[in-house]
Amino acid sequence: MVDAARLRDLPKVELHVHLEGTITADTAVELAIRNGLDPDRFPGMEGRRYPARFRDFEHFVELYVGVSAAVRTPDDLATVAAGFARQQALQNVRHSEATFTATTHVNNGMEPVAMWEALRAGFAEVPETEVTLIVDAVRNLGPENADQTIRLVADADAPIAALGLAGLEMSRPIEEFAHLRSAADALGIGLVVHAGETGPPEEVLRAVDLGADRIGHGVAAASDARVLEQVVRDGVVLEVCPTSNVVIGVVADHASHPFVSLWRAGAQVTVNSDDPPFFGTTLTDELAYAERAAELGVVGLATLQRRAAEAAFLTPARREEILGEIDDWATAATG
């Protein structure tokens, strides 16, 4: 088993983490007070703390949306961005692709140019780590929200790696968002689609057919042999978030999580934290779980992080740099 110090030193890449979902309960309260809101009125908070477990996905979304709405100004957003980057740097995360719902903040009155500047400024406070953005459309808000997201990204001066599709799975047919792929191609960026988290296994294949470069979550694939076979055969990258799935009730507990079966089946799984303070976890914690559950050891952990680096939207030079750091870690850990 890999000890905590060695795991902390592992050069890491995180593909699935929501920027608004990295707001700690303390920061949410601070932002509420700063903006004249009642910090005791966040839906679902328990004594100014996030609950240890959510009733269901909708319960989590209600609190997530409430906390996101407390981010009212560019200064607020810069605080969130810097706080996230700081936590990633402490874990030796070399590269993060943070999902960000730009339409939430613009529709709450934030000016787009100032919004992008705030994000750049916040990330720049922590040069030890690199953060790029996946700007997501909200599925339950329909294709109009996707159109608005595309326009914002097209005009943005920001480190944007991809478009995304998140929100309530199955709330709208995924085919309504087919234009996200063509828009991503026109902008020269990637596309990441949430699927197979709370939805059925077939939704994973629909997201692949839509043209997704990666699948956010995708754990439902483990419950259908036909879907799993195609996911493995086609090398579909799954952004698996084990603790998230437990805390919102997708699975009963960590022992029931399909990570191990996906790993052993040969699926291209990566491990991620999703919304870390909401779920009481970190990327390092998720990797520790994966290492214990699948008995990965140094080689398996290095494989997970190499896979994340290979699936990330990086320049070839930056990818090779991070892969080299991972290889150096593995060599030192086994030498």
CB-neighbour burial class of residue 235 (10 A; exposed 0-12, middle 13-18, buried 19+): exposed
Instruction: Please indicate whether residue 130 is annotated as part of the active site.
Output: no
What's the first-to-final CA gap in the chain, in angstroms? 15
**Phi, psi of 51, rounded to the nearest 5 degrees:** -65, 150
130, 169, 197, 291: the catalytic one is 197
CB 187 within 8 A of CB 158: no
Q: Which residues of 276-308 are buried (b: 16+ CB within 10 A; e: fewer)?
A: bbbbebbbbbbbbbbbeebebebebbbebbbbb
The tokens for 202 are: 């077939």
Query: What are the residues whose beta carbons fall under 8 Å from the beta carbon of 125, sequence distance 6 or more?
Result: 78, 81, 82, 85, 86
Whose tokens are 């459309």? That residue is: 137
Q: For residue 195, which of 187, 317, 180, 27 has the smallest C-alpha distance? A: 180
Q: Which residues are catalytic?
A: 197
